[in-house]
Amino acid sequence: MSETGINCQHACKNTCASLNEALRKETAIIKYYEGVLAECTMPEVKTFMDELVEEKRKVILRLIQKLNEIHVRSQAIDGITSSFNNIDG
C-alpha cells in the first residue's frame, strides 16, 4: 500500500476503482465547499469558494469522461474477444 492509502488491485473490469474513489472524494469535497458557502457571509471568501467549486466540477466531469472512455473501450474489447470465441459464427 502506498503512502496515500490507495492499493490498486489492477483487476478492474469495464471501470477503474481508483477513478471511482477519486470521483467519490471530489464529490464529497464539493458538498463540503457548498456547506461552507451556505454559512459564509464574506463576499471575498464566497467568490473564492465558488471558484473552487467550479474547478472541482470540472475535475468531476473529467473523471466521468475518463471512466466512460474506459467502459466503452472495455466493451469494444469484450465484443472483439467474444467474436473470436463464438464457434457458431
pLDDT at site 30 = 96
CA distance 71 to 25: 20
pLDDT band at 73 (very low <50, low <70, confident <90, very high): confident
| pTM reported for the whole predicted model | 0.73
Run of H or E including 29: helix 17-39
Which of 10-19, 21-30, 51-60, 80-89 shows the lowest per-residue confidence on average (mean pLDDT)? 80-89
pLDDT at site 40 = 92
pLDDT band at 9 (very low <50, low <70, confident <90, very high): low
pLDDT at site 84 = 72
At 28, the amino acid letter reads: A
DSSP annotation of 54 reads H
Q: Where are the domains of the chain?
A: 17-81
Joined together, the cell numbers standing for residue 83 give 467474436
Backbone φ and ψ for 62, nearest 5 degrees, come out as: -65, -40
At 87, the amino acid letter reads: I
